[in-house]
Amino acid sequence: MMAEKAVARIRVTVMLGNSLTDRDTLAVLELLQPESPAEVLGLYIEDSELLSLADIPVVREYCLLTQVERRLQAGELERQFRAQARIAEQALARAASPRGYPWSFRSLRGDPVVLLREMLAEVDLMLLGAAAGMTQATRRRGGGAAGRPVMAVFDQAEPATRALQVAMQLADAGRTRLVIALTAAHPDELPALRQRAAGLVGDRPAEYLELISRDTADLLSQLRRQVAGQLVIGVPAEKLDDETIALLRNRSSCPVVLVR
């Protein structure tokens, strides 16, 4: 009797804790193909810098709902952290359990950028939510996430191939368009990139963008002009610097899937 072929397990970390963006982020998790069982870790980060600010008397907290301003207090902030973490864990359970994904949840305290960089080095996929303000602006321009295309960044780096494969899965599962952003430092590199991407895509319909970009900040600036439902980026190990993680976390207009 032939032994069954083992199915590779995908390690996924989902950054949670913002009620304005968690729903869209978890929708990406629900689109992952069920034939690739995932080990899912929900991550909530208590920002240690924000806690340290609570000890400064002049720092104030402004509630958008009640429009009341008050002094930011460490004890109250910690209670808010715990409440947000509970809500995030419940949301993860609702998304992961029906799909059969084994999942766990962790709440960590520290510098969000440093913790995310360290965690990304240990997983296959990381899901980051859009910046809250960016999400609201994108919805005004393009409606809800449903129907907006999946965009994959395709460059010379080796993880770009895996990123494009993940983007194709998401586009298939969500029945949305696939947009491939060919990204190079020089225009003469674009024809070869397009040929490589077309070979991976095959007969699947796809749209192509050609972007000349030399750094992450410039790339994100160009991509924000596009209305995408999800952005999939391959991240080489040597590019896991704090600046890149901060830009992706704070300046993206849609959920981001980082692929190692």
**Angle (CA) 195 176 167, round 5°:** 50
Q: Which residues of 31-40 are buried (b: 16+ CB within 10 A; e: fewer)?
A: bbeeeebbeb
Q: Tell me what pLDDT residue 73 has.
A: 73
Helix, strand, coil shares of the chain, percent, nearest 5, are 45, 25, 30
The more confidently predicted of residues 131 and 25 is 25
Q: Tell me what pLDDT residue 100 has.
A: 83
Average pLDDT, integer, range 214-239:
81
The more confidently predicted of residues 156 and 75 is 156
Chain CA centroid to CA 64, Å: 25
Are 142 and 131 in contact by the 8 Å Cβ rule? The answer is: no
In the chain, the percentage of residues whose pLDDT exceeds 90 is 46
Q: What is the dihedral of CA 15, 18, 23, 28, to 10 degrees?
A: -20
Between the alpha carbon of residue 189 and those of residues 66, 71, 167, 195, 212, the distances in Å are: 53, 54, 22, 11, 10
pLDDT of 4 higher than 80: no
- 53 by Cβ neighbours in 10 Å (0-12 / 13-18 / 19+) ranks as middle
Q: Structure tokens of 68?
A: 């009341």
Are 191 and 208 in contact by the 8 Å Cβ rule? The answer is: no
pLDDT band of residue 48 (cuts 50, 70, 90) is confident
For the segment 228-245, what is each residue's pLDDT rounded down to a tens digit? 999 999 987 666 678 888
Average pLDDT, integer, range 37-65:
73
Q: Tell me what pLDDT residue 64 has.
A: 46
- 239 by Cβ neighbours in 10 Å (0-12 / 13-18 / 19+) ranks as middle
Average pLDDT, integer, range 141-151:
69
Q: Tell me what pLDDT residue 191 has.
A: 96
Output DSSP code: residue 202. T
> Residue 9, SS3?
coil
pLDDT of 49 higher than 50: yes
pLDDT band of residue 163 (cuts 50, 70, 90) is very high
d(CA 106, CA 118) in angstroms, rounded, equals 14
d(CA 155, CA 211) in angstroms, rounded, equals 10
Q: Average pLDDT, whole number, for the chain?
A: 82
The more confidently predicted of residues 194 and 75 is 194
